[in-house]
Amino acid sequence: MAATNVPNPISAAHPLAGTTMSGAEMIVRVLADEGTTAIFGYSGGAILPTYDAVFLYNQERAARGEPQMPLIVPANEQGAGFMAAGYARASGKVGVCMVTSGPGATNTVTPVRDSMADSIPMIVICGQVPTSAIGTDAFQEAPVPALMGSVAKHIFLVTEPEKLEATVRTAFEIARTGRPGPVVIDVPKDVQNWTGTFRGEGVLPIPGYRKRLFATAHAAIEDDEAELFFAKLRGARRPLIYAGGGVVNGEAAADLSEFARSFGIPVVTTLMGIGAFDTTDPLAMRMLGMHGAAFANYAVEDCDFLFAVGARFDDRVAGVPQRFAPNAKHIAHVDIDLAEIDKVKRVDWSHVGELPGALRALTAYGRSSGFRPDLSAWHTHLDTLRRTHAMNYDRDSDLIQPYYVIEEINRLTKGEAIIATGVGQHQMWAAQYFDFRRPRLWLTSGSMGTMGFGLPAAIGAQFANPGALVIDIDGDASIRMNIGELETVTTYDLPVKVVVLNNFGDGMVKQWQKLFFKGRMSASDKSLHKKDFIKAAQADGFTYAVRLDRKADVPRVVEEFVRHPGPSFLEVIIDPDAGVYPMVGPGQSYDAMITGDHIVARHPPKSAEAPGPSQMF
């Protein structure tokens, strides 16, 4: 493939081309060239040369009155990884995490795997013991290539210093292109200390990858393919779009909206696809799946044409693939990754390519061919589903219901806030009850479901969007995982808002134990724990730290919390028995959906069946 097709923003006329630099300085210069505006990481012996180069770079920029590239120090390297991921998720740019060798590197394994599972572009630069010491069990040595190679999109171990500059630039290319993902660069200390000539351009030869990229980027939907798509769609009376995280990651939300509105086709989204379509739009049917809205899941049951866009039919959406969308006569699928086509659910029309171009091509063809479907009966049916099976809860309870708290926050933020979450019940309540007017406002650990994600991700998002309102919706169990990052919020005086919905335990686990394990709360009840979250927040410097335990105070306190100009912390003592409904049990289809006591079910309620030995959590 010709070099002209290689994505490379660096010009041959780089102002520093020909300058003698250390390897560490080259790393920092490439980071700057690639548009990095913040680095998240923790120092240590094996990465000190590069940390020093960051210091010198910022010192030089400050002397000239130019923007710097701050190095944000977390409480733990896992926090640094999730901050970089939050930065990437909220901005669409590549997040950068920089850590030392050994435990510094191993502490980032979970964020790397989390980012790989959710297709998040991130660079992790790890210090490593000197090249001559690799394999000798040297102090703070870890086999980073072996560890990370199985969880990252790609891993580089740099043993030839002359290739360092090109390696870092290539890592960015791999992280951001195609299906995005995390790339790890393991850099021995002697490579960082090496001095050589900075070229200011150049990438490594990865012809196979670039050939696939080129093919994907130029995979246009031809007229005959579009005609086949619309031939199937023309026969549909109840078409539905099923949008996944690929729409957000592929920057295709505007094109999806244009397609949906052009032909009046309603949209359901996955957990990772939230924000891909404005939740307040009349065509929005919100989230489908295990904890999706009942009306969304019923829409999937009733549709006769399903168009999957950047979605992968995962087990939280299609728990029983052969019974998913049972009335769909045709299923179409567009994705950037060939591996996702027919992986779980067979489809009868597909296209592998970049989503924006594919959606634009289909929209243009539909308009030019005069496709104007009359879907008024379908829209009326969906309106009835929304009203009849609306999200609801016990609004008369004297206890604070978590849904009520989220509704009050949403009333103030109007779908414009960046919402990060931990993992558990609070995550699903946030997905169900918040509005999202556009993409990159919803940050959550989807495929991995990593507790402790929310707080550091919110920090990263705030650095990516300094003027935005960023709120972490967390649980008492999830926030414990990375609670040390409360201090990071106040250290950098970030206006991050932290909500802890405290039900004194692992709420989602307890819900499953009630349903499937006869109420045996094995290791999930934390009502005896002594944690005082308010004192912890105050100790870490939060000037606004309030416990909310009276329902009558919810509107006033929530508004105080949201309006507070600096970091604010709110602990809400919620109904410990509040559940996440609807719920589709593992290995079950939507006709077995449990809707709880306050959401109307279409099918007669069934008793919850215990998951089989091979079924997922």
β-bridge partners, 467: none
* Per-residue CA distances from 304 to 188, 198, 286, 308, 342 (Å): 57, 59, 18, 13, 19
| Share above pLDDT 70 across residues of the chain, in percent, rounded to a whole number | 96
Confidence of residue 527 (pLDDT cuts 50, 70, 90): confident
Residues 144 and 188: beta-carbon distance below 8 Å? no
162 in active site: no
pLDDT band, residue 5 (cuts 50/70/90): very low
In whole angstroms, give the CA distance from residue 297 to residue 582: 10
Residue 178 has pLDDT above 70, yes or no: yes
Segment 560-573 shows an average pLDDT of 98
593 given a catalytic annotation: no
Region of 415 on the Ramachandran plot (φ > 0 left; ψ -120 to 50 alpha; else beta): left
Sign of CA dihedral 431, 436, 441, 447: positive
Q: Which of 1, 68, 69, 140 is catalytic?
A: 140
User: What is the structure's pLDDT at 54?
Assistant: 98
Q: What is the mean pLDDT of residues 450-454?
A: 98
pLDDT digits (tens, 9 = 90+) for 570-613: 999 999 999 999 999 988 999 999 999 999 999 876 666 667 66
Q: What number is the average pLDDT over the span 270-295?
A: 98
Q: Is the pLDDT of residue 2 over 80?
A: no
Catalytic pick among 34, 77, 340, 407: 77
List phi, psi (to 5°) of 209.
-65, -45
Query: Residue 409's pLDDT band (boundaries 50, 70, 90)?
Result: very high
Is residue 139 among the annotated active site residues?
Answer: yes
List, for residues 43-87, the tens digit of each pLDDT value: 999 999 999 999 999 999 999 999 999 999 999 999 999 999 999
Q: Among 153, 189, 497, 526, which one carries the catalytic annotation? A: 189
Q: What is the pLDDT of residue 4?
A: 36
| Mean predicted lDDT score pLDDT of the chain | 95
How much is the average pLDDT of 320-349? 97
- Going edge to edge, which strands form the sheet with 442-443? 442-443, 418-421, 470-475, 497-502, 568-573, 544-548
pLDDT at 433 over 70: yes
Of the candidates 506, 490, 356, the one whose C-alpha atom is nearest the C-alpha of residue 427 is 506
Whether 1 is catalytic: no
Q: List the single range of 10-14, 275-279, 327-331 with lowest mean pLDDT.
A: 10-14
Q: Regarding predicted confidence, which is higher, 609 or 445?
A: 445
Identify the structural domains of the chain with CATH numbers, from first to last: 3-208 (3.40.50.970), 219-388 (3.40.50.1220), 402-573 (3.40.50.970)
Give the separation between CA 262 and CA 565, rounded to whole angstroms: 41
Question: What local confidence, expressed as pLDDT, does residue 526 receive?
Answer: 87
Q: Is 140 a catalytic residue?
A: yes
pLDDT band at 10 (very low <50, low <70, confident <90, very high): very low
Which residue in 21, 26, 508, 593 is the catalytic one? 508
pTM metric for this prediction: 0.96
Q: Is the pLDDT of residue 521 over 60?
A: yes
* pLDDT value at residue 1: 31
Q: pLDDT grade, residue 335 (50/70/90)? A: very high
Question: What whole-number distance in Å separates Cα of residue 452 and Cα of residue 53?
Answer: 31
Measuring CA to CA, how many Å separate 32 from each of 54, 69, 82, 432, 510?
A: 10, 8, 21, 39, 47
Alpha carbon distance 50, 98 (integer Å): 9
Residue 129 has pLDDT above 60, yes or no: yes
pLDDT above 90 for 6? no
Among the listed residues 55, 59, 60, 139, the single catalytic one is 139
User: What per-residue confidence (pLDDT) applies to 617?
Assistant: 62
- Among the ranges given (9-13, 350-354, 373-377), the one the predictor scored with the smallest mean pLDDT: 9-13
Query: 591 with 603: CB under 8 angstroms?
Result: yes
489-509 mean pLDDT:
97
Q: What is the pLDDT of residue 429?
A: 98
Residue 350 has pLDDT above 50, yes or no: yes
The residues with which 155 forms a beta bridge, in sequence order, are: 184
pLDDT digit string (tens) for 250-270? 999 999 999 999 999 999 999
CA torsion angle 99 104 106 111 (round to 10):
-50
pLDDT of 11 reads 47
pLDDT of the residue at 586: 87
SS3 category, 593 = coil
